[in-house]
Amino acid sequence: ALVEVVESKDHPWFVACQFHPEFTSTPRDGHPLFSGFVKAALAQKNKA
């Protein structure tokens, strides 16, 4: 499989990739990239 990624070291959650970690996740065992993104989104939501 080919994974293409772009990231910004100046921003903690700027990640662009052509990869689908949600396809390898299950409700009880999420892919670390997908789980981390969800946790960060919830933390950002709770700040508002």
Cα separations (Å) of 41 from 2, 3, 12, 37? 27, 23, 12, 6
Residue 20 vs residue 35, higher pLDDT: 35
pLDDT at 46 over 80: yes
What are the tokens at 6?
A: 């772009």
Q: Which residue has the tokens 């892919």?
A: 31
pLDDT at site 10: 87
Q: pLDDT tens for residues 3-28?
A: 677 878 888 777 676 767 667 777 78
Instruction: Report residue 42's pLDDT band, with 50, 70 and 90 as the boundaries.
Output: very high
What end-to-end distance do the CA atoms of the chain give, in Å? 39
